Structure 1
């Protein structure tokens, strides 16, 4: 049985209307220059860290890569901004949503256009403080770690494929 068979919602082509994006998940990792966004399934032991934003959605920390920013630097910055967390182990990329936008210009001038990728990673973290909540980012109201079953349930508030994404991340992280 393939990963696509086991995680059908994650592997179903989708439309992210908010960004004018047609997306497709793959475990084939994108080249660095295609990665515009990075999100992390964070682990504290076997628990998974989720962040509740001001829309009352439980999200995975991550976001848009800045001009010239490395993947690791982006992860470190986003963990501090959205989770008040620091890495306690290496970053492990495990897949990406490949996207094509129908917007006439890139979201940020330095980003590739019209093709780009959202990179998904796992990492062990420690919670060290409160999210820094920059004014131009999601406003995080709460950060918690959950056992896998609860994380899967809460993650559905941010998209139908998130429960499968987290389950796959947990499966791969244990290896």
Structure 2
């Protein structure tokens, strides 16, 4: 075990997925240790040149995707994830470099990869198999929402050897966990006055973000706001000039809910197209922009703010998610109902990988 892993073992790592480049090939080849070679289909004799050719082939393959996984804070590479498609099923694979193990990287990367699969392909199920002795990989799969397909366990030939394997599966994408009626809401376009939006199951590119909306949680309850202007709402709003998305979500929750953010996750977005001739505010992207979506654990520390340009919050409700969903549906906002349900699922999944 490396000194880095010893020092930081158990501390969750925030990650990003990005495309592989030729410059990554040396790291990929050298990062694979004995455990990776034992429990994956990786060839020990793989060369940098072979890997670069494989990267080029991947870009032109409509039935395969692969990503480098990097530490969000440093940009350092930490893992590899990939998926292939056959008919209505995708199969995923992954490995984590030694220095990044036992920090929740595998399960986080798997969840993100499943979102990418759902966005790229129309598939019903995502599967993976793990060597029966690879207990760490099996636990990572379960934390990422996969369930064991006990009836499919088998001995199969892998890299010229007979492997006892355990099969796992999960529905395709975060939307698959929603009830069918709420899933249908997010599957199609949503129209708000001069704007048409489409849901995407991953955070947007920062330069496209014009708004951020969050589902706040206080313990087991979620927070809804009622405003004079819009009725029952999901807290959030427009980015100020030069403001980052994290700063905006902290400010909006402080202003509209009187809340202090303890932790948060941005997990999705609306891709929006405005029919207005000019942007809502001059510094915002237009006519195409994105709304960042997420959840946040918060503490209620103050009353909502009142000021020029702010919506007037008349009530704050703390409700179990099921009742929040019902309230939004009753008030004609099924898209918020779906997002609150989805945020609760994402929050529960995030809790499962905390040390």
Same fold (TM over 0.5): yes
RMSD over aligned CA atoms reads: 1.6
1:100 alignment partner in structure 2: 273
Q: 1:171 aligns with which of 345, 351, 355?
A: 345
Q: Higher helix share goes to which structure?
A: 2
Matches within 5 A, 1:131-146: 131-146=304-319
Check conservation: 1:86, 1:127, Cα contact below 8 A.
yes
1:160 alignment partner in structure 2: 334
2:110 alignment partner in structure 1: none
Q: Structure 2 CA distance, aligned partners of 1:95 and 1:80?
A: 21
Per the alignment, in what secondary structure is the counterpart of residue 334 of structure 2? coil
2:186 alignment partner in structure 1: 10
Taking a change above 3 Å as real, the CA distance of residues 4 and 12 of structure 1, as seen in their structure-2 partners, is farther
Check conservation: 1:81, 1:134, Cα contact below 8 A.
no
Per the alignment, in what secondary structure is the counterpart of residue 161 of structure 1? helix
Check conservation: 1:152, 1:167, Cα contact below 8 A.
yes
Structure 1 runs, 4 residues or longer, greater than 3 Å off: 1-6
* Residue-by-residue CA offset, 1:84-114 (whole Å, 9 max, x unaligned): 111122x201111101112221111111111
Matches within 5 A, 1:50-61: 50-55=224-229, 57-61=231-235
Q: Structure 2 CA distance, aligned partners of 1:69 and 1:101?
A: 21
2:99 alignment partner in structure 1: none
1:86 alignment partner in structure 2: 260
How many corresponding residue pairs?
A: 172
Where structure 2 has 5 or more consecutive residues not aligned to the other structure, the ranges are 1-170, 350-355
Residue 150 of structure 1 pairs with residue 326 of structure 2: no
2:243 alignment partner in structure 1: 69
* Residue-by-residue CA offset, 1:119-144 (whole Å, 9 max, x unaligned): 11111001111101223121001112
Which structure exhibits the higher relative contact order, with contacts defined as CA atoms closer than 8 Å and separated by 6 or more residues? Answer: 1
1:30 alignment partner in structure 2: 204
Where structure 1 has 5 or more consecutive residues not aligned to the other structure, the ranges are none
